[in-house]
Amino acid sequence: MIPTIETERLRLIPPSPDSFDVYERFYTDPEASKMYGGPIGREQVWARLKADLGSWYLLGFGVWVIQLKADNSLIGTCGYWQGRDWPRELTWWVMPEGRGKGIATEASRAALLHAYNEFKWDKVESYMNDENIAARALVEKLGGTTSRRQEFSDGLSRDIYLLPKPA
């Protein structure tokens, strides 16, 4: 069973078919999704949602959908992703209207606490493409420090950040 996590303003809920609309709005928006392989078509969006849900069953972890408690709207995702032969990572995306409001920070802290306290992981890492300045800034805000640089199967090298357990 996929847990739900609550913070002051957010619920991190399991992905479901009800999440498709927010996935579609994000992944078909060229500006919003450019750092996440977008824009992509509707069928590819459906495949992403299925992959996010399937990760929980195949790997025992995955991303949650971020729900605002104020109005129950869905605004993004946050959690863990791991491609085949890639390091496990903390990842997130937030719709443009939710950016700059601390949503990704709040969701990431909750996901980090869950990883350390519930999954009992001894480390949590994150990485991003070099040009993703916003993601780098959030990882550094969370206390992330560069632990190494790694070449990936997509031909890109990325800094791998080690993220501490939030206080």
DSSP string covering 123-147: -EEEE--TT-HHHHHHHHHTT-EEE
Domain presence at residue 148: no
Domain presence at residue 24: yes
Claim: this prediction has a pTM higher than 0.95: yes
Domain presence at residue 137: no
Domain presence at residue 115: yes
Give the separation between CA 162 and CA 147, rounded to whole angstroms: 6
The pLDDT assigned to 107 comes to: 98
- Specify the CATH number for the domain of residue 102: 3.40.630.30
| Residues of the domain holding 100 | 5-122
Lookup: tokens for 28: 């078909």
Domain presence at residue 149: no
Query: Measured at the alpha carbon of residue 147, what is the angle toward residues 138 and 79, in degrees to the nearest 5?
Result: 45
Q: Give pLDDT tens digits for 55-114.
A: 999 999 999 999 999 999 999 999 999 999 999 999 999 999 999 999 999 999 999 999
The pLDDT assigned to 167 comes to: 87
Kindly tell me if the per-residue pLDDT of 121 is higher than 90: yes
- The domain total for the chain is 1
Kindly tell me if the per-residue pLDDT of 147 is higher than 90: yes
- The DSSP symbol for 165 reads P
The pLDDT assigned to 104 comes to: 98
